[in-house]
């Protein structure tokens, strides 16, 4: 797969994109015998069409934050304080913490979707890909005809580079990369404005991983949805993110443009993450967003 040029993040002089999601002073606590504050006073603003990377070591609170934003956390986790506001493209603001559970169920996937950690193993093994995609549409678009559901499912697969003929396939008939693409297609099915991706490429080999990353950047440019991309792999985030937030022990310790994080990291932990990036040549690798030479070995 060859991409000759990718869209670079906006420079310092460019106007910041309008916000689509705002997290203010969010704190999440696990009410166990000795309560644990997993997310502490987090503030984030996600721009419309932006890819925001969230990096940090395992256990630092990245997934807890993602679940809290989507209100998928379960006891003993609870949101102790803060606000989560969604800025709809129609101009209205939605306070996600004020929504009733049924309202939140309708909101999920429609306006904000999530690709879960280990998602490529989340497909139902006993029903076809078509049935699983159609089920999402039947639940959230009950007025859509069966023919239209099947057409939309095929379009979603085409969007992520999977032949629509695979709609009749079952999960075990697909490679790991294909299953991951199907999960991304499912998350895009209702054309949400925000997608949270929690380590979506962890179990993939490096070649397929790069293809998936390229697909995410391409889809962002084509569909203009915003992404929160979560991983412990900071170098990976530098490949695709417009901005990167570095998380340590439940707190955001650094938040800046990816170029700034790469060239002049301010926090010692950020420098430590960058220092863990192995190199065989003495130089760090090319960024996906600036393109790469398809003939390079």
What is the rounded average pLDDT for all residues in the chain? Answer: 87
Looking at the DSSP assignment, which residues form a beta bridge with residue 23?
44, 84
Chain mean position to CA 116: 9
pLDDT value of residue 211: 84
With 70 as the cut, is the pLDDT of residue 286 above it?
no
Ordered by where they begin, the domains of the chain are 1-6+17-111+193-297 (3.40.50.300), 119-191 (no CATH)
Confidence of residue 278 (pLDDT cuts 50, 70, 90): low
With 70 as the cut, is the pLDDT of residue 9 above it?
no
- Max Cα–Cα distance, the chain, nearest Å: 57
User: What is the mean predicted confidence (pLDDT) over 178-182?
Assistant: 89
Residue whose token pair is 């990036």: 277
Closest CA to 201 of 227, 183, 219, 225: 183
Q: Report pLDDT digits (tens) over 10-65.
A: 444 456 779 999 999 999 999 999 999 999 999 999 999 999 999 999 999 999 99
What H or E segment, with its residue span, contains residue 44?
A: strand 36-47
pLDDT value of residue 229: 95
pLDDT value of residue 283: 55
What H or E segment, with its residue span, contains residue 139?
A: helix 129-140
Q: Report pLDDT digits (tens) over 76-124.
A: 999 999 999 999 999 999 999 999 999 999 999 999 999 987 766 788 9
Q: Report pLDDT digits (tens) over 183-219.
A: 999 999 999 999 999 988 776 788 888 888 888 888 8
Measure Cα distances from 166 to 99, 116, 262 in Å. Answer: 37, 22, 40
Confidence of residue 6 (pLDDT cuts 50, 70, 90): very low
pLDDT value of residue 120: 67
């Amino acid at each position: 797969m060859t991409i000759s040029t990718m869209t670079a993040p906006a420079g310092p002089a460019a106007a910041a994109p309008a916000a689509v999601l705002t997290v203010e002073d969010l704190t999440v606590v696990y009410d166990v015998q000795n309560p644990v504050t997993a997310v502490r006073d987090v503030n984030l603003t996600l721009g419309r069409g932006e890819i925001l990377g969230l990096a940090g070591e395992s256990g630092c609170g990245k997934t807890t934050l993602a679940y809290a934003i989507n209100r998928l956390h379960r006891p003993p986790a609870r949101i102790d304080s803060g606000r989560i506001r969604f800025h709809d493209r129609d101009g209205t603001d939605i306070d996600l913490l004020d929504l009733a559970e049924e309202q939140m169920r309708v909101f999920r996937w429609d306006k904000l979707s999530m690709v879960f950690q280990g998602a490529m193993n989340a497909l139902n093994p006993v029903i076809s890909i078509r049935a699983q995609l159609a089920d999402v549409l039947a639940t959230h678009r009950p007025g859509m005809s069966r023919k239209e559901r099947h057409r939309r499912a095929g379009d979603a697969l085409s969007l992520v580079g999977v032949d629509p003929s695979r709609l009749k396939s079952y999960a075990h008939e697909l490679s790991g990369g294909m299953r991951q693409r199907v999960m991304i297609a499912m998350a895009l099915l209702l054309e949400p404005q925000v997608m949270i991706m929690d380590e979506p490429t962890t179990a993939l080999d490096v070649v397929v991983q790069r293809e998936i990353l390229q697909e995410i950047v391409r889809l962002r440019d084509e569909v203009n949805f915003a992404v929160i991309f979560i991983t412990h792999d900071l170098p990976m985030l530098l490949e695709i993110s417009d901005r990167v937030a570095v998380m340590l022990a439940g707190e955001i310790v650094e938040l800046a443009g990816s170029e700034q994080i790469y060239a002049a990291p301010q926090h010692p932990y950020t420098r430590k993450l960058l220092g863990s990036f192995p190199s065989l040549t003495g130089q760090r690798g090319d960024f996906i967003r600036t393109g790469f030479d398809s003939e390079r070995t």
